[in-house]
A and B are shown apart, each in its own frame.
Chain A
């Protein structure tokens, strides 16, 4: 099968255009099988304080992600303030030994919508601290432009709220981001429910997809991971091939030239 072109994320060349999460799988083995099937080269991870009665928690998970041999993208999930997010990013850098951070600063607990003001502030601090920031953002154009001005090379607007599987709720906004920020690496992060949602985003010219729930909560996560891998590749190939423009009027696909005279006029 033909593969879409390689791409670069903060100087790191990648083949797969799928970033996949490590949460919500029915078992560790299912997680490992699904991530392998997805062919993802970047996986998202997180961190938490050890429980009082678990002095070696995290070791099993660490072994599994080491065996997967993927690039790690730690997140700041659960943070609702600049201070929390910056602190979590610093802890993640120390724990996972990477400058990459998926910056999440939530503004509302109902739809887990990013707080645009806090996101900009936290991004500014973390870039000054030497991080390579992957902001989880809304699809607001001006917000994304501000994040780019601060030095983000990658932006990750939502397709829909996290875990909803609603697909691309505002394709117009995503298309506008692609058109207005042609130099930026753009991934749709969150809201992808099925492979066709991912294809739609890739056909719009997005560089990649970050998802978790759509695979982890499928009846067969490994099979769904195969489906997403193929879908994302297909969507990117379609974008690279150039999708034909839509027309209002029909146009015959079979040539009429040289038809017998009795069929004409």
Chain B
């Protein structure tokens, strides 16, 4: 059984497996559409999603396009 860790996901606390990469976290949270991933205020390039491990305490934000003036 995987041990768990606490992260912040889009501003709310979330308990996730310790083994997550960005890619597996996105899949587990069913994130879809046009978006980018920001962890601890840093943009994570798509090329790194498979390798970037999620660590305890990470603040993960999914940013999407919206209308603007």
Contacts and interface: CB of A to CB of B under 8 A. Distances in A.
Interface in B45-69: 45, 61-69
Contacts of A21: 67-69
Contact of A58 (B34, B61, B68): B34
A34 to B, nearest CB: 12
A75 B32 contact: no
A56 interface: yes
Contacts of B35: 50, 58, 95
A47 B66 contact: yes
Interface string B23-54: 00000011111111010010101000000000
Nearest to B41: A87
A45 interface: yes
A158 to B, nearest CB: 12
Contacts of A51: 10
B12 interface: yes
Q: Chain A: interface residue count, which band?
A: 35 or more
Contacts, number: 102
A44 B69 CA distance: 6
Interface in A29-57: 31, 44-52, 55-57
Interface string B1-26: 00000000111100000000000000
A95 B68 contact: no
Contact of A48 (B30, B64, B69): B64
Contacts of B68: 21-23, 44-47, 74-75, 77
Contacts of B36: 91, 94-95
Interface string A55-69: 111110110010000
Contact of A46 (B10, B33, B45, B66): B66
Contact of B64 (A50, A163, A213): A50
A138 interface: no
A58 B66 contact: yes
Most buried by A among B10, B29, B33, B36: B33
20 contacts: A21-B67, A21-B69, A22-B69, A23-B69, A25-B67, A45-B66, A46-B67, A46-B68, A55-B32, A57-B66, A58-B66, A59-B64, A61-B65, A61-B66, A62-B33, A62-B34, A62-B65, A75-B68, A95-B34, A96-B65
Given A46-B68, A50-B64, A57-B33, 15 more contacts: A31-B67, A45-B68, A47-B63, A47-B65, A47-B68, A49-B63, A49-B64, A50-B63, A52-B11, A55-B30, A61-B65, A61-B66, A77-B68, A91-B38, A213-B69
